[in-house]
Every structure is written in C-alpha cells, then in structure tokens.
Amino acid sequence: MARVKRGRAEGSRDEIPFLSGSPVQGAHFGDRDEQTKLLVSRMTSGRNVLVISPRRFGKTSLLLTAAARARRTKGARVGMANLFYCTDRREVAEEVTRAVLNGALGWGGATIGRLRELVRALPGITPRVEAGGVSYSLAVSSPGHSFLEEIRRPIELLRDSAESAHPVCLVLDEFQQIAEMEGLAGVFKGICDDIPEVSLVFSGSHRHLMAVLFEGAGAALKNVAEPLGLDVIPEPEMTAFLRSRFEACGKQLTSGAASLIYELMGGIPHFVQLLAGATFDVVEAVADEATVREALVVVLSRQRALLAQGYEDMSPTQRKVVRALAGVPDSEIQGVDFGRRAGLAASSIQAAVKGRRGLEEREVVAFQRGQWRLADPLFERFLLYGLGLDLGESLNPADIR
C-alpha cells in the first residue's frame, strides 16, 4: 500500500486515502468493531451467522476483517467461498472446495504432497495450478448429478481438521446466488444439521432472495443461523474515519464537509469513500463543503454515461417513479400523494416497483429505515442535478443542496 506518487502534498504519509469498489481492510476499514467481535466469536465457536445487507454496505470487508482476526487471534481455520460467479451446483462445489483447501486448510504453506493427500479425500476433484493459485475442477458424472456429496465432502474434511486450538469456519459470501439453484438450500440445511462443528457464515444481498432462503414458512434454512444486521456505519464513526484518513494522508477535512459527504451519499460506505476520495483529489490542503460539492460534480461528470444508461434501461413508468423518489423518500409509494407526485396510478406504481424485474427486485429502490428510497445515492444525485450532464450541459457545484 506504500507506493509513492510524485507531487503529493508535503507531509503525506500514506498514499491512497480512500478505496471504493473492492473490499477494504486495515487502514481503509472504518469502525465495525462490534460486528467484527461478534463475528469472530461466532466463527470460532461453531455457531452459524447470517449477514444480510444491500450491496456495498461492507459485508465482504467485514467478513475478510473478521476472518483475518479469527485466524490471527484464535488460530481458526477459515475458508471464504464467494458464490457470486457460480451459476450451477457444480460450480458451487468447486468454489467450496477451493475455499476449504486453499483458505481454511491453507495447503499453500504446505507441500504438493499434502495437497495430493487432501484431494484424495475428494473423489472427482482435479487441482489445477495457475498463476493466481490453485483452482479445482470436478469431473462430470451423469447429467442429472446432484453434486450434493461434492459440496458436503470438503466441509467434512474441514470438520475433520478441527482441533481445540483450531476452530473451523466456512464463509459463504454472495449466498443469494443459490436461491435459484434447485435443491441447494436443502443441501446446506443438511450440512448445518449434520456438521455442527463447522461454523457457517452466510452472507448476501438481495433481501427478497435471502428471505426466500431464511425467513418465513417453508424457508429451507429457517432458524439455522443467528442474524447479524449490517446497516450503514453511523455518522459520528464514519465522519471521524474520513477526517482521520485525510489527516493520515497530509490534508484536512472540516467536520461540516465530512457530514456533507455522509449525507449526500446516504451514509453508504462505498459511496462515502468514493466521494471522500474525489474530495481529497480536488483539494490542496483543507476541504470544506464547497470542495465536496465540486467533487460531486466531478464524480457525476465522470460517471454520467453509466448513470444515464441505468436511467435509459428503465421503462417510462419506472423513470417516473425514480424521478419522484429522488431526494424525497416516501413511506407510502402506493398512496395518493406519491401517485400524484409521480403522475401515476397506484397499479402502475405497483407493477413498476414490485413486478418481475421491477425496481425492487433490481435493487434500484429499497425499503430502508421505514421509507422507500433510491438505493444508489449517486444515481439519486444524477436524477436531481445531473440529467443535463449527459446532454453536454454543465452543472454548477453551488446548485447542489
């Protein structure tokens, strides 16, 4: 992290003040201490946890931070599977295998002989050594193969490696991906019941998909895991984090400016870091509220094509709904007031929001903290001030409220 770039302000001690876009750890990870502690304690005591939040609230960052701490302080063997790219049960089995062998059992520090020994316990698995490490592929069996055993076996192997000085844990990030894979929820329910020694941490976004798996009558994974809600980081902690990052990198952020960043980005960690980073870049020494507005114009201008694309991909009714919601969250979007504001009948709003591939399912709008709101604060600012940017108009920072 200590790369040096020319032309930085005097006194800059640390190169990159803010990171957004990929999971963060270490100095880039702000206050989540309570949740980290709770996760570490569950990961190291065979208990299952369920982490749900919208995208970009910091789930993966929290999981990585807790896993690292559990390894360091409790000798835990923690595997991290990311199911995001998995499209079928075979790929889930391959990813779980990779997480257990590379991550939890850390064969990387051992010999090829040890890897062979581990792989022998997993029939059908072929390791492939690549530049980035080892990946695993499964030989195909019959087309109707369930892959149930292939998902279970590496987790049993993990259980067998448990010792009192080495608790074992498997994190399943982006778990909502399995909602549409037939039979998989039942497979994981069986694993929870039969392999209690392994702490399973389920993590996912897309509330409605996670609800299908974990909540309500008929949910296969009902009551298997303790829910750990992940909200935005509260304003006092997040603004303190921003200001200390500015300082660590040789500049300053006024407290009014820090609050404005937080407010404009709805407190969502990813967007807060994005705007904070842009603010850091446009200022020489001390960033105030005017700097933040300038930085927001830079970000909106830079992302206008993408933001406009998101708008273009909506039906005319959906566009009316998002425009009416921008800047004005509403507790009752099917009520008369909102209908009047959007110029739409309640039934059209219902279809635009709740229908298949509707705004809720696509996580464009979400019901959070008692109100319907736009999930992406940058898109919201684009709707409020930036639509003209894509037509070549300019936006005056002073117009941003």
Ligand X SMILES: Nc1ncnc2c1ncn2[C@@H]1O[C@H](COP(=O)(O)OP(=O)(O)O)[C@@H](O)[C@H]1O
Which residues lie near Mg ion (CB under 5 A)?
59-60
Which residues have C-beta within 8 Å of that of residue 138, sequence separation ≥ 6?
A: 90, 93, 94, 97, 124, 125, 126, 147, 150
Binds ligand X (CB under 6 A): choice among 22, 111, 142, 164: 22
- Cβ neighbors of 279 (< 8 A, separation 6 or more) are 253, 257, 261, 287, 291, 292, 295
- State which of residues 39, 43, 44, 59 lies at the interface with ligand X (CB under 6 A): 59
Residues 6+ apart with CB under 8 A from 218: none
| Contact (Cβ atoms closer than 8 angstroms) between residue 325 and residue 333 | yes
Candidate residues 17, 58, 124, 167; the one interacting with ligand X per rule CB under 6 A: 58
| Complex with ligand X: residue 53 or 348, whichever CB lies closer | 53
Q: Where are the alpha helices (DSSP H) in 249-288?
A: 255-264, 269-282
Go through 8-45 and write b for each residue having 16 or more CB atoms within 10 A of its CB, e for each that does not: eeeeeeeeebbbbeebbeebbbbebeebbeebbebbbe
Residue 22: which of Mg ion, ligand X, none does it interact with, CB under 5 to 8 A by kind? ligand X
> Toward ligand X, which CB reaches closer, 30 or 266?
30
Give 375 or 400: the residue with its C-beta nearer to Mg ion: 375
Please tell me the distance from the alpha carbon of residue 372 to that of residue 366, in angstroms, as a whole number. Answer: 6
Q: Which of 39, 40, 42, 61 binds ligand X (CB under 6 A)?
A: 61
Comparison of 21 and 75: residue with beta carbon closer to ligand X: 21
Identify the residue among 266, 267, 269, 329 touching ligand X (CB under 6 A).
Answer: 269
The answer to whether 103 contacts ligand X (rule: CB under 6 A) is: no
DSSP secondary structure code for residue 102 in this structure: I
Judged by beta carbon, residue 272 or residue 349, the one nearer Mg ion is 272
Q: How far is the CB of 42 from ligand X (least distance, A)?
A: 18
Task: Determine how many CB atoms are found less than 10 A away from the CB of residue 351.
Answer: 16
Task: Report the residue from 17, 32, 262, 349 that binds ligand X according to the rule CB under 6 A.
Answer: 32
Total residues interacting with ligand X, rule: CB under 6 A: 20
- Pull the structure tokens for residue 262: 């937080």
> Can residue 199 be called a binding residue for ligand X (CB under 6 A)?
no
Q: Which two tokens stand for residue 5?
A: 């770039």
273 is a contact residue toward ligand X (CB under 6 A) = yes
Could you list the beta-strand ranges (E) of 269-370. Answer: 286-287, 365-368
111 near ligand X, judged by CB under 6 A: no
Q: Which is nearer to Mg ion, 21 or 234 (CB)?
A: 21
Q: Give the range of 19-27, 66-74, 101-109, 176-184 binding ligand X by CB under 6 A.
A: 19-27
**Which positions touch ligand X (CB under 6 A)?**
19-24, 29-30, 32, 53, 55-61, 269-270, 273
